[in-house]
Amino acid sequence: MKFITCIQVIILSACFVAHSTAQTKPPKPATKPATKPAAQGNSLDSLKIAVNNIKSLFGGLKKSGDTITILVSDIDYDDTSLYQLKESIRTTKGVKHFSMNYKSGNAIFEVTYTGKPSALWDAQPATARKAFKLVEAGDNNMVLTNKNTTRPAGSKNP
């Protein structure tokens, strides 16, 4: 009798194990999105779409301009022509930020402007430009000298 009970327990447990594995299905493998590989001629279009998507992500960020450094040499801090130039640049269309430093007879302007330094200089009225000579205009800098400065004999003209 014990032998029959033992066989019944083994058969019953085998049925239980078979039944439980039949009900629990193995996990499905992760499915890949239904995308086709890009065709030879279509890869350029895919690249353009990706670039446009990236641009749309950063579309709210607009470039506010480059910082231009303007050096005005040989000028006194209280010179009226320096004041006129400073106010003229500050009120120029396209100027977002303006700051000025003065050291050893040189005024240094830091200007955030949407164009090139030469365009900023050309945008100034003749009354603001008349006292200065444009010596250099690079990509992000401009050098001006004061025309009204008297130089000691023997010094070089800029």
Taking only the tens place, the pLDDT of each residue in 120-132 is 999 999 999 999 9
- Report yes or no on 85 lying in a domain: yes
- Report yes or no on 4 lying in a domain: no
H or E segment at 137?
strand 132-137
- Report yes or no on 130 lying in a domain: yes
Mean pLDDT across the chain, nearest whole number? Answer: 76
Q: What is the pLDDT of residue 131?
A: 93
Amino acid at 45: D
What CATH number does residue 72 fall under?
3.30.70
Which residue did the predictor score with more confidence, 6 or 136? Answer: 136
- Report yes or no on 89 lying in a domain: yes
Q: Are 123 and 134 in contact (CB under 8 A)?
A: no
Q: Say which DSSP state 157 is in.
A: P
Q: Does the global pTM surpass 0.75?
A: no
- For the chain, how many structural domains are there in total? 1
The 3-state DSSP class for residue 112 equals strand
Structural domain boundaries enclosing 92? 66-146
Residue 143 scores a pLDDT above 70: yes
- Report yes or no on 84 lying in a domain: yes
Amino acid at 129: R
pLDDT in tens, 81-122: 999 999 999 999 999 999 999 999 999 999 999 889 999 999
- Determine the Cα–Cα distance for residues 49 and 39; give it in Å rounded to an integer: 15
Q: Say which DSSP state 51 is in.
A: H
Q: List the 132-137 sheet strands across, edge first.
A: 95-103, 106-113, 66-73, 141-146, 132-137
- Report yes or no on 26 lying in a domain: no
Closest CA to 94 of 75, 114, 109, 66: 114
Q: Say which DSSP state 35 is in.
A: -
- Report yes or no on 90 lying in a domain: yes
